[in-house]
Structure 1
Amino acid sequence: MSHRHFLIHKPYGYLSQFIYELKRTKKLLGELYDFPVGTMAIGRLDEDSEGLLILTTDGMMSEVVRSKKVEKEYYAQVDGIITQQAVDQLQNGVLIGFKGTKYKTIKCQAKLIDDPNFPLRSQKIRDERHGPTSWVSIKLTEGKFRQVRKMTSAVGFPTLRLVRVRIGNFHLANLQSGEVMEIESVLGV
């Protein structure tokens, strides 16, 4: 059987799944493209997050991509002008809540970045009168539930917008929100 693989720019407000058993009020990725039966997301982005997802019909590839060997990069817009001290804390690992206990994140790369000029989100983040925001790039090899949001909050700068821009060697690049691109293989991660 020949498997198919896709990159998608997951829009804000969509769930990273294809089937919703209960009364359906949420938007699903399957509404954006005619994916083959058995397509699944490798890793997830929560409903409020945007950016790059890899989709595949090959369940065996999921473990390869989700392994700690594959780096993921996120751009987080945070509340306030993030300080170098906070960025240093992110790099050295911070305590976050995970499964009812405290967990120290592993060391990662983090840096302040210029506004990446993403298109406006379908739902406005907030009004400028509520103060300044800044952007930080965070590169992780682990992926705990809502990890980036918990990390920025732990250093005093809650995440307002989160966009995954890279998984391994795959980049969000010019994919527009909701756009899907079929790829030959996910082995290049």
Structure 2
Amino acid sequence: MITTHTHHHYYIINKPPNMVSQFVSPDDVGLLGDLAFEFPEGIHAIGRLDGHSEGLLILTTNKRVTNLLFQGEVPHKRTYWVNVGHHVSEETLHKLRTGIGIRIKGDVEYVTSPCEVEIIPRPEILVPHASESWEGVPNTWLKITLTEGKYHQIRKMVRTAGHRCKRLIRVSIEDLELGDLAAGGVKEIEESEFFRLLKIDNWQ
């Protein structure tokens, strides 16, 4: 349900898997409106996650945030926890960190910008998901921080490196963090705090 307000609102949600970053879709999919929360009129998602991905998603009534955050001169860091099949070698980590070729729109070869990649223990805060378990096949958790966001970039990066992305969770954008927000949870952020954590200048 959507309610009406006159000033801007800023929220983060922990988007669960199998939900698109939209309130309306012609397809039979999970929608943001299925969450147990009454969002204000004019709400929309910023920096969408694909249907299979999870984690931090920004929702706001302020239409200028997209330009400020993702189309400005200074790129903003986004951090993800990524579960992939099999063990990841040091050679593969180096490839992911220094730039790896992926196919982007128009079937163009694109070499990704350098980014931060490290192997991490399985984050204890995560609820187990069936996709993590393949009988007889080990898996590795990675923490990847990048400043660009081509379509399905991380999935394409790890696939090019010889691994399948089994689970992808965005955990932060700059200093705006998912924290312990449960899957499907919604948290409203005060405007000045929202801009401070994202390290963008308040448009006012």
Q: TM-score range by the shorter chain?
A: over 0.9
Corresponding residue number in structure 2 for 1:129: 135
Q: Aligned pair in 2 of structure 1 residues 2, 126: CA closer, same or farther (>3 Å)?
A: closer
Corresponding residue number in structure 1 for 2:179: 173
Corresponding residue number in structure 1 for 2:128: 120
The RMSD of aligned alpha carbons is 1.3
Rg bigger for which structure? Answer: 2
Deviation of the 1:63 alpha carbon: 1.6
Does the residue aligned with 1:2 lie in a helix, a strand or coil? coil
Distance 1:31 1:142 in 2: 29
Within 5 A, what are the aligned runs for 1:132-171? 132-171=138-177
Does the residue aligned with 1:153 lie in a helix, a strand or coil? helix
Deviation of the 1:66 alpha carbon: 1.9
Corresponding residue number in structure 1 for 2:60: 56
Corresponding residue number in structure 2 for 1:31: 34
Distance 2:46 2:162 in 1: 30
TM-score of the superposition, structure 1-length normalised? 0.93
How many residues were matched structurally? Answer: 185
Distance 2:87 2:184 in 1: 30
Q: What are the ranges of 5 or more consecutive residues in structure 2 without an aligned counterpart?
A: 1-5, 199-204
Deviation of the 1:105 alpha carbon: 0.6
Corresponding residue number in structure 1 for 2:14: 9
**What's the CA shift string for 1:25-62, capped at 9, x where partnerless?**
11111211211111111111111100001110001011
Percentage of identical aligned residues: 35
Distance 2:24 2:135 in 1: 40
TM-score of the superposition, structure 2-length normalised? 0.87
Structure 2 contact 69–76 (Cα < 8 Å) conserved: yes
Q: Which amino acid aligns with 2:165?
A: T
Deviation of the 1:132 alpha carbon: 0.2
Q: What are the ranges of 5 or more consecutive residues in structure 1 without an aligned counterpart?
A: none
Distance 1:108 1:18 in 2: 32
Deviation of the 1:65 alpha carbon: 2.0
2:82 to 44, 65, 76: 76
Deviation of the 1:126 alpha carbon: 5.3
Does the residue aligned with 1:157 lie in a helix, a strand or coil? coil
2:51 to 23, 47, 54: 47
Distance 2:132 2:93 in 1: 23
